[in-house]
Structure 1
Amino acid sequence: MNTTFKTKPPIWFWIVSVVALVWNAMGVLQYLGQTYQTESFKSQYTNEQLEIISNTPAWAIAAFATAVFGGILASIALVLRKKAAYPLFLISLIGVVVQMIHNLFLVKSVDIYGPFAAIITGMIIIFSLLFLWFSKKSIANHWIS
C-alpha cells in the first residue's frame, strides 16, 4: 500500500517555486549567451574579460552547465511538486561550488570583474543553498512527493 500523500502547500511555496524558476532561467540564459557569444552577452564585458571567458577550461564550463540546467530542472520539478527537485538542486549546488572555485580562486574574478563579482557569487551560492533546503522542507511537509 502506498502511503505517500500531498498536503496543499501555502501560497509562499508557489512564490518561492516561481522565484526559483525565474532565477534558474536567468542562469540558463547567461550560460547560453556565454556559450554562443551573443551580442547582448559580449556587450556586458570588456575585451580583457571576454578573453578570460573564452579561455575557460571545459571542466568549469561543464560545472556551469550542470549548475544552471540542474537548477532549471529542479525548479520545474518543484513547480510540478515532484521529489526529484531535491536531488536536482543538490546536483545544481555541486555544479555551483565547482564553478565558483574556478571563478574565485583560479581566475580571481573579483580582481577582474570588481566587487560586484563577489556579490553575485555570494547570491548564487546562497540561492542554491536556500532552494536545496526549501525542496527538502517541501518533502518533509508533504508539499511535494
Structure 2
Amino acid sequence: MTEAVETRGPRAPWWFWLVAALSAAWNAFGAYDYTMTQLKGDAYLQAAGMRPDQIAYFHSMPTWTTAVWALGVWGAVAGSGLLFARSRWALHAFTASLAGLVLSLVYTHLMSKGGEIMGQTGVIMNAVILAGCLIFVWYAARVTKQGLLR
C-alpha cells in the first residue's frame, strides 16, 4: 500500500492570510475608485474633492494612460485573489500591476504637468500607492521563495 504524497506545500501561517486580506481590502479600494471614475465620471471626481482644472487634466490624458491604470488596478486585484489561491502567479500579477503604476507615474510626472496640477496631495497619494505596490510585489516574491505559493 502506498501513501498519498502531499504536493500542496507547507501550510500557510495565519499572517499569510492576514496579508492576503489586507491586500484584498487595499486593492478593492483601487478597483472601486477605477470603476466609479469610469462609470460616474465628473460627479465622482468632484465628490472626491478634485478641482475643475484637475478634472480637465484627467480628461486630457491619452487613452493609453487609462489602459495602464486598468493594468495597475486589475493586476493588483488579480494578485490579491491569487494570493488567496496560493498561486505563484500572484507575483506576476502584482508585478504587472507595478508596471502599470510606473507607466502611469511616468506620464503624470515626466510627460505632462500632472504632478503640478494634482499638487502635493496627488504626489503623496502616488507615493503611498507606489509603496503599497512595492510591498505586495516583495511579499509575493518572499512567500513564493518560502514555498507558500505553488
Does TM-score exceed 0.5, indicating one fold? yes
Q: Which residue of 1 is the match for residue 148 of structure 2? A: 143
> How many residues are aligned here?
144
Output one character per residue of 1:2-48: Cα deviation in whole Å (capped at 9) or x when no partner: 98432122222112111111111111111112222163333221111
> Are 1:119 and 2:109 counterparts?
no
Range 91-100 or range 42-51, more displaced: 42-51
Unaligned runs of 5+ in 2: none
Deviation of the 1:65 alpha carbon: 0.3
Unaligned runs of 5+ in 1: none
Supply the distance in 2 between the matched residues of 1:14 and 1:108 (Cα, whole angstroms).
40
Q: Which residue of 1 is the match for residue 43 of structure 2? A: 39
The answer to whether the 8 A contact 2:54-2:118 is kept is yes
Aligned-CA RMSD value: 1.7
Query: Between the two proteins, what is the percent identity of the paired residues?
Result: 24
Q: Which residue of 2 is the match for residue 134 of structure 1? A: 139
TM-score by length of 1: 0.90
Deviation of the 1:100 alpha carbon: 0.8
Greater C-alpha radius of gyration: 2
In the alignment, residue 29 of structure 1 is paired with which amino acid?
Y
In the alignment, residue 109 of structure 1 is paired with which amino acid?
G
Deviation of the 1:113 alpha carbon: 2.1
